[in-house]
Amino acid sequence: MRAGPERVSGVNDMSGAGVELIQRARSLVPVLAQRAAQTERDRMVPKETIADMQAAGLFQVMQPKRWGGHELGLEIITDIQLILAEGCLSSAWVFGVIAAEPFLIALCDDRMAQDVWGRDRSTLVCGTSAADAKNTLVAVEGGFRLSGTWRFASGCDHCDWAFLGGAVVAADGTSTDWRLLLPKADYQIVGPWNVSGLRGTGSRDIVVADKFIPAHRAIKRADVFDSKGPGLALNTAPVYRIPFGQVFSFGVSTLVIGGLQGMLDAFTAYGAKRTARGIGPTARDPVAQLLCAETAAQIDESKTIFRRNAANLQAYAERGEIPPMRERMQYKFQLAFAVERASLLAARLFKAAGASGIYVENTPFARMLADINAGRSHVNNQFELYGRSWGAVLLGGSESEGRDRLL
């Protein structure tokens, strides 16, 4: 049961590539659902799923055409994530964060793209800026030296490169934040991924021991925020003028609504056959009926807002404009607030499934609720944080005060 019609869009998609990718993503949903329990048990997305996404060309949705990608807009990748999450939220999460990294590479020195895709244009890149406080980044001749530990590297076992965040601290105490790209030979993947939800993302730790990164494999975080970078001289598609912070936020927020859709679908199929003791058939239970309506309405509302905001960001990029700070705050809040409301509805669906719904062998509700709650915990989904920034501006405050929260 879908909340409203499935809509395929894409402002810069004149070739039909976006429509084809949406259809391929839809065809993968039953496969992802079938593998979801295995994905959770293994604590990583199966290699077969990564291969299926590769064969469908999904990871290349935002990769520059110069490097074998589709170079499509934010609306298309958002729709793909919403769809994949219906089958498995962990798999959709890994897709989203990996598929966003080619966008970041497009902003950088083209030698970086040559390093990554020069031999194989299907090479995947992961990324995390969740750095340990003891990490060190030092500017040296020709580049940087980096050491430390980074957490939450989703999908890292399937990738040959990793974007990591680091800060160079000057003698006067001021610091400059960078994003740096390292090959797999320069880091170790360590530790179990033992968490309560999104277990299948395999978001393990990355450890670097005093490795050199050439200057062409680094970009200032502030430049990423302001949609600047040497790569834009060659990668001229408007999509790369969208602020990367917005792209990444869409990548860890919108999929939660897809996960809620999957949970609603599972609940309606389950409820159509269930009779609860003392309540009767779930299909005639007014509490369950109202809950299904509320959930479907929330999904439809969230999708409408996401697509509108993605289209607005693309329109600014088409005009060569940077979106106003106020709108960027609004969009971040709306993403995070949609996730918050989805988590509350998911908890109610889990309760409405009753005692039979807690069996993990026969029903997916516990896994789906845990995955949605884990997604809510991401820093980009803390609606209070972004609500304060946007609300302060609405009350006449300075837009610059909320800039750091958008980086």
Phi, psi of 211 (to 5 degrees): -110, 150
Give me the tens of pLDDT residue by residue for the chain, a chain 407 residues long: 554 445 544 444 445 899 999 999 999 999 999 999 999 999 999 999 999 999 999 999 999 999 999 999 999 999 999 999 999 999 999 999 999 999 999 999 999 999 999 999 999 999 999 888 899 999 999 999 999 999 999 999 999 999 999 999 988 989 999 999 999 999 999 989 999 999 999 999 999 999 999 999 999 999 999 899 999 999 999 999 999 999 999 999 999 999 999 999 999 999 999 888 888 888 999 999 999 999 999 999 999 999 999 999 999 999 999 999 999 999 999 999 999 999 999 999 999 999 989 998 889 999 999 999 999 999 999 999 999 999 999 999 888 766 666 65
Q: Give the integer Cα–Cα distance in Å for 44 and 38.
A: 9
CA pair distance 82, 58, nearest whole angstrom: 13
The pair of structure tokens assigned to 318 is 């088409």
Where do the structural domains in the chain lie, given as residue ranges? Answer: 125-220
* pLDDT at res. 399: 82
Q: Provide the 10 A C-beta neighbour count for residue 169.
A: 13
- Which residue pairs from 288-296 have beta carbons closer than 8 angstroms and sit at least 24 positions apart in sequence? 288/352, 291/345, 291/348, 291/349, 291/352, 292/264, 292/267, 292/268, 294/345, 295/3, 295/260, 295/264, 295/345, 295/349, 296/1, 296/3, 296/4, 296/264
Q: Indicate the CATH number of 125-220 among 2.40.110.10, 3.40.50.720, 2.30.42.10, 2.60.40.2470.
A: 2.40.110.10
User: What does the alpha-carbon distance between residue 372 and residue 264 come to, in Å, rounded to a whole number?
Assistant: 13
Which two three-digit tokens encode residue 130?
């969740």
Q: Which residue has the tokens 């997916």?
A: 364
Beta bridge mates, 274: none
d(CA 109, CA 216): 6
Strands 204-214 and 143-153: antiparallel
- Kind of pairing between the strands at 161-169 and 125-128: parallel
